[in-house]
Amino acid sequence: MTAFTLDYIAKVLPLLWDGMQVTLLLTALSLAGGGTLGAVLAVLRLSRHKPVALAAGAYVNLFRSLPLILLIFWFYFLVPLIVGHSVGGFYSALTGFILFEAAYFCEIIRSGIQSVRRGQILAGLATGLTYRQTMRAIVLPQALRNMLPVLLTESINLFKSTALVYVVGVRDFLTTAGMVGTRDNTFVGMYVLVALVYFVLCLGASLSVGQLQRRYAL
């Protein structure tokens, strides 16, 4: 059994960093994709056309009722059936994350927009601004400020959730550490190290979000 020392950690650090880059890439891509799709869904959910709003609502409710792992497996097993060849764990997991997170981002953005009081919109329209101008100049800046802390917290959740790609063998931070730990029989130290790294990153991030919230709260 290899001793779990600082030297050992230094030796496996490049491998772990490769894994962390995959984790960060997955987080960034899911965030961009899920955020964009979520914003579109939020607009659709607030649409005045009933069927459109209902369809967007059904999407959100469906995806929020499913476990993320099930969704990842959906794409892992079924996308190959559709496109005819295997797409690998990374893309199936990414698809799952984007579709799943979009439902959550949709709800955050929607409640952010709804948190702006109706009087603000009416006042904007009364001063002669068009609906579009009212939205851009009056509603969205306030909505964004209201939802920013929740958006950031959800992003931290997403960062933690990406560790689930372990189940389809994507070499993210956790999977890499697990593989190295099994190879060198240092899995006890490795898993503790992984937990520590996640803890420090997530705690730091959530403390910063708290500070930001205190500074920018309306």
Partner 1 sequence: MHYNWHWAVVVTDPYLGWILSGLEWTVLVAASAWVIAFSLGSVIGIARTVRSPIVRVIAGSFVEIFRNVPLIVQMFLWYFVLPEVVPRSIGIWLKRDLPHAEFWTAVVCLGIYTSCRVAEQVRSGIGAIGKGQRYAGLATGLTPAQVYRHVLLPVAYRIIVPALTTEFLSIFKNSSLALTIGVLELTGTTRKISELSAQPMEMFLTATALYGAVTLGVSALMRVVEARSRVPGLIVAETH
**By the 8 A CB rule, do 104 and 154 touch?**
yes
CA 52, CA 6: separation in Å to the nearest integer? 57
The residue within the footprint of partner 1, chosen from 98, 106, 143, 164 (CB under 8 A), is 164
Contact segment (CB under 8 A) with partner 1 among 3-11, 48-56, 60-68, 127-135 equals 60-68
**Integer angstrom CA distances of residue 213 from 80, 139, 146, 207, 209:** 44, 19, 9, 10, 6
Regarding 91 and contact with partner 1 (CB under 8 A), the answer is no
Q: Give φ, ψ of 82 to 5 degrees.
A: -80, -50
How far is the C-alpha of 187 from the C-alpha of 181, rounded, in Å? 4
List alpha helices for 127-172, DSSP H. 131-134, 140-161
- Smaller CB distance to partner 1: residue 127 or 182? 182
In the complex, the smallest distance separating the C-beta of residue 51 from partner 1, rounded to whole angstroms, is: 21
The residues in 28-57 that bind partner 1, with binding defined as CB under 8 A, are none
Binding mask 165-204 for partner 1 (x = CB under 8 A): -xx------x---x--------xx--xx-xx--xx--xx-
Structure tokens that stand for 148 in this block:
């920013």
Task: Confirm or reject binding of residue 218 to partner 1 (CB under 8 A).
Answer: no
The residue ranges that bind partner 1 (CB under 8 A) are 62, 65-70, 73-74, 77-78, 81-82, 84, 150, 153, 160-161, 163-164, 166-167, 174, 178, 187-188, 191-192, 194-195, 198-199, 202-203, 206
